[in-house]
Amino acid sequence: MFRWLSGSAEAYGFLNGNPRGFNYQQKLNLVNVKLKWVKDKVLDAVITGERDLRAVCTLVSIISSNPQCSVPVYRLSHCRGHLGLPHDLKISTFVRRYPTIFYEFHAPDSGGTLVPCFRLSPEALNLHQEELNVLQHHQKDLVDRLCKLLMLTKERTLPLQTIDQLKWDMGLPYGYEQSMIPHHPELFSLFRLPDDRVGLRLLFWDDCLAVSELQKNPGLQEKENIKNGCLAFPVRFTRGFGLKRKCMQWLEEWQRLPYTSPYLDASHLDPRTDISEKRIVGVFHELLHLTIQKKTERKNVSNLRKPLDLPQKFTKVFERHPGIFYISRKSDTQTVVLREAYDRQQLIQKHPLVDIRARYSNMMQQGFLDRSRGLYKRSISAGSEEDGLKSICTDEFNDYDYKSEGESESHFLFEYKSDE
């Protein structure tokens, strides 16, 4: 079911000072309408495997950025906090699932003990190089996305820690703070926040970027709505979703309310009104459009309440508007998906990075199947290969004290603090 819920605000008396029905309530308080959550198997399939894919791509970036292009397993354990894997899953166990991407070998440490190390397979190295080429070719697009994210905030600043939670979804490269930000000193500035975290500040406001995705598509709106500034959001419900007549009436009139651009100051809006709620929906509608796959985990936006100047419990709009957002509960988390961006399981507009990630996913599936069939067997490297790698791993162990995987993981886990 796909339809635009729109119409003339003036026809309902909202703009001519003659409010009635729900509109009268909307000027005073938030209408208490609850819409049920209905499982969407099609969009759930979009989320399946996302956690492991993100972890694999992060590990590929970590290993490839090492000067020796190989990393002892304990070094990978130090990066566990960036992977989002379950705490009871060993990094070595996870990496060994995908032998088509990670090649395991054993090399002696400084004491002569053989320890497991990992490097990328030739196929993974080639794909990673393609990924770097895509990032380089589309750097302007990624920079614009980061600018627009900062432009959504009240102070045009965000902690790097908060941006880190969104970097995978926005397509930002691993280590963007070193590889991308320093190349644009006219746009960005790193600074120290009062709580001693590092923040990123936007130095230049570009009016050309301050146009929301909804405003870019006037052809999809009724002319009267464009004239009155009452833009409507595209709405699509899960098949079989039964919308009561009262809820349909409220939603149709809610769509006719004035649309406030997420890039404009909205401090004059009363947070208890439906007009304010429509602005909040607009903020997240725009935020999801800044992601390359039009989705993000719900927890990733929990730190954005103060920067975006939003009221308490602002994420409730996801439940109140299931025709705009879908909340998937797959993979032991809640992921917010922008419904309009998908035609069943396919993105309507694909960023080139999406295809790269799909190829990583295919490699993961093939490696997992091959390993389950016994096509890969763990073995200790010997002979010339061991001799050639000895100096590499010896340097690694001279620089870092060796600890067991279990010991090292406990010291490098971290949690993001919520502003809520």
Max mean pLDDT among 18-27, 75-84, 218-227 falls in 75-84
Res. 295 pLDDT band, cuts 50 70 90:
very high
Res. 418 pLDDT band, cuts 50 70 90:
very low
Task: Give the alpha-carbon dihedral of 268, 269, 271, 277, to 10 degrees.
Answer: -150
**What does the pLDDT average to over 118-147?**
95
Mean pLDDT of the chain: 80
Q: Which residues pair with 190 in a beta bridge?
A: 200
Contact 225, 9 (CB under 8 A): yes
Which pLDDT belongs to residue 267? 87
How far, in Å, CA of 186 to CA of 177, rounded? 15
Contact 150, 126 (CB under 8 A): no
Q: pTM value? A: 0.80
Q: Pick 220 or 364 by higher pLDDT.
A: 364
Residue 205 reports pLDDT greater than 60? yes
How far, in Å, CA of 390 to CA of 233, rounded? 60
Q: Transcribe 315-359 into DSSP letters.
A: GGHHHH-TTTEEEE-GGGS-EEEEGGGEETTEESS--HHHHHHHH
Contact 323, 236 (CB under 8 A): yes
Tokens found for residue 335: 């992921």
Res. 18 pLDDT band, cuts 50 70 90:
very low
